[in-house]
Structure 1
Amino acid sequence: MNHLSAIDRRDAKRDIQAELLAGIEEIARNEPAAAHEITQTDVALARQKAQMSQASFAKTLGVSVRTLESWEQGVRRPSGAAQSLIKLFIKNPDFVREALS
């Protein structure tokens, strides 16, 4: 489970409080929020949080298993719509699964 240790390493370096305060300051200044690009570890994290196999996750996203594998390996990047759905899976996988079933 290399991708989980990569996620843990990434998150260990984050200062969530500082990120939240910076976001609030951007809102107060009426500045657009920084965009977050989905990474291969995010795709794997979303699938794991949803407790879905690659085949079922790919079907839910409307892509082939091969495409999902290429996202998880960092070979290709998900489209904007797929990135939005992946972000939702990370935040609330049960809601997304129920809404799409």
Structure 2
Amino acid sequence: YNGIAISKNDKEFVVAFDNFVNGRLQSAANTGKALATIHRYLQSQALKVCVSYIRQLAINYHKGYYDERNEMAAKRAAMMYDTLIYGNEIYDPEYNELKS
């Protein structure tokens, strides 16, 4: 989040999530299942965050902003986001231009 215009609340979430994933996460699958039980409106909002994260990893992949530690995550994110783009689920001309 360095160099990114981000609110204090959003930054606090990023730091908390970073700390959670870096040592406190015990099961990504179970955490995902539990998140899917939050209020339905919040599920929609959480998915927006998830898709935005996938989009940024996909952009990083296409720009070569990854290393061997996160190459698989970046590559898979690009594959997922491309599927949404090509399936006309998301309209993102900026991303399409990046890939040209």
Q: TM-score under structure 2 normalisation?
A: 0.30
More relative contact order, 1 or 2 (CA 8 Å, 6+ apart)? 1
